Amino acid sequence: MNADFGIRAGAETKLVEVMGPILEARHALSHMRRWMKPRRRSTELLFLTNSAWVQYQPKGVVGVIGTWNFPLYLTIGPLVAALAAGNRAMIKTSEYSPRTTDLLRSLLAEVLRRG
């Protein structure tokens, strides 16, 4: 981060850029089963004998556009949400934080390689 921003507080970087996405990923993992569960809905009086429910499904590909000021937090956070919803995601990082983008690229490549 310092290579991209000059001087940035280490505590701020650890708290926002590192802990934020970790907490979001943990939250998504612990709640995904409940989020995916079909939800029953009531019907109108005319259709009282019928049953209705909502089956949640992914929409497709989500575009995540990262910002320059918090490049990891505001890129990984929406990425976690998109993947937890079952979507594919495409990331566009800021050109103003090239070294952070390189770090993110190598970390994601390593994580996705392990599968």
Q: Which CATH number covers residue 67?
A: 3.40.605.10
pLDDT for position 102:
93
- Please tell me whether the overall predicted TM-score, pTM, comes out greater than 0.75 for this model: yes
* Counted domains in the chain: 1
Q: How far apart are CA 35 and CA 82, in angstroms?
A: 13
Instruction: Show the domain range for 25.
Output: 2-114
Q: Is the pLDDT of residue 115 over 70?
A: no
pLDDT for position 28:
96
Helix (H, G, I), strand (E, B) or coil at 49: coil
